Structure 1
Amino acid sequence: MNKIATIQRIVDNGVVAVLRGKDANEVAEMAEQSIAGGIKVIEITMTVPSALKAIEKLAGKYSSTTSDPDKFAIIGVGTVLDPETARAAILSGSEFVVGPSLNPATVALCNRYRIPVMPGVMTIKEIQEALELGVDIVKLFPSTTPSAIKSIKGPLPQANIMPTGGVTLDNVGDWIAAGAVAVGIGSDLTAEAVKKGDLSLIAGRAAQYAAAFKAAKAK
């Protein structure tokens, strides 16, 4: 798929479900529930045992190019530490790559294959380096408060920022208002469902996040 189109779809959908589970089957079910609730951008982290199996399964079921809303989703990979892992995930069907830190070799690999890559950054220096490497969206991780984006946008107004960690239903609107192009949601999306042993609860939580993002963008 065209890299620019993928990035645009991620930005349009705005909420990325960052999913971790005990195994590939559990995380795939988490993804199914997230998609059913309206979060259509899914990040399967490589900390999940057999994560590539989950990515392959989901990529085979969903498409980022379909006009069928029931089959539309963008499947990506997270917690990527090196280019070897990124390449394996891409071959399994991942359409974007996310890392906890900035690894130039991983960025180069993704750029070579025209796959969006979102490395984790914390400082102005890291963000500038990411931009110079050709990164389109940086992952602010760990995120602190929405005011951090304003501080970053001072010297680097051209940076596209996606905070991950610290984003909740109560502050997602504040992050968007501050200039975030998208947000990553982790345990706040899945914790209650896992605790109660009912993954179907994720769909309801996902619907709340999708609605909150839409409301924030409409302001």
Structure 2
Amino acid sequence: MNLTGAEVVARIAAARILPVVVLERAEDAVPLARALMEGGLPVAEVTFRTAAAAESLRRIRLEVPDMLLGAGTVLTGEQLDLAKASGAQFIVTPGFNPAIVAAAQALGLPIVPGINNPTGVEQAMSFGLEAVKFFPAEPSGGVPFLKALTGPYPTMRFVPTGGIGPANLANYLALPAVLACGGSWMVDAKLVQEGRFAEISRLTGEAVGLARRA
């Protein structure tokens, strides 16, 4: 059964961090998902930056069913269809493509599209969306820009992603309009490739602790 947009938003908000995962090998998907769960993060965005994305999604959905599972970097209708078929429960895009947003909504898939300006926010509002990805967060002006951007749009929630880590996580989470922060420091590709899943769990636990104190 599909989750509603409100349900997805609520679960991301509860996590406060959205891990952005790049998997080169599908066999790493389940150990990584379990490491995130053990560290206290029951959510992941698996990006379509590699050929292993769809199979990784499928394996996580089958073997770690309690994880809220998103597909990221979805750029085409083909990727969107593949993400849904593979078990993704929500979609994340780096930019705002009206055709992809409309297609996701037609499939009943909640979508968090990327924006970094007022026009993007208003496009999202025109589609009835309640949350957007602020990307790339740091290069786009970081906390000061996002704080200014939230002023005219009091109902919109944001998931800033890009250049966020332990040093600035709390600054973003302190903004009332921030739903959660996207990040990859706890799921570093080198750690995944080396099979250091216990270290991923440790870093995830530290990130969760930082988020709770923010």
Q: TM-score, normalised by structure 2?
A: 0.89
The counterpart of 2:125, out of the listed 126, 131, 142, is 131
Q: Is 1:81 matched with 2:48?
A: no
Between Structure 1 and Structure 2, how many residues are aligned? 208
CA distance in structure 2 between the partners assigned to 1:48 and 1:34 by the alignment:
20
Percent identity over the alignment?
26
Structure 1 segment 16-165 matched on structure 2, within 5 A: 16-63=18-65, 72-144=66-138, 145-165=142-162
CA distance in structure 2 between the partners assigned to 1:38 and 1:60 by the alignment:
20
Letter in 1 for 2:156: A
Task: Check the 8 A contact 2:23/2:53 in 1, yes or no.
Answer: no
CA distance in structure 2 between the partners assigned to 1:197 and 1:114 by the alignment:
35
Letter in 2 for 1:132: S
Task: Check the 8 A contact 2:23/2:189 in 1, yes or no.
Answer: no
Residues 92-144 of structure 1: CA deviation (Å, up to 9, x unaligned): 11001011111111111221233210111111111211221222211111002
CA distance in structure 1 between the partners assigned to 2:148 and 2:123 by the alignment:
17
Match of 2:213 in 1: 215
CA distance in structure 2 between the partners assigned to 1:79 and 1:170 by the alignment:
25
Secondary structure at the aligned position of 1:146 is classed as helix
Following TM superposition, the consecutive aligned residue runs of length 4 or more in structure 1 with deviations greater than 4 angstroms are 194-197
Letter in 1 for 2:90: F
Gaps of 5+ in 1: 64-71
Per the TM alignment, residue 196 of structure 1 is displaced from its structure 2 partner at its CA by 6.1
Per the TM alignment, residue 37 of structure 1 is displaced from its structure 2 partner at its CA by 0.9
Cα RMSD over matched residues?
1.8
The counterpart of 1:204, out of the listed 195, 198, 202, is 202
Cα distance change, pair 153–211 in 1 and its aligned pair in 2 (3 A): same
Residues 135-165 of structure 1: CA deviation (Å, up to 9, x unaligned): 2211111002222221111222222100011
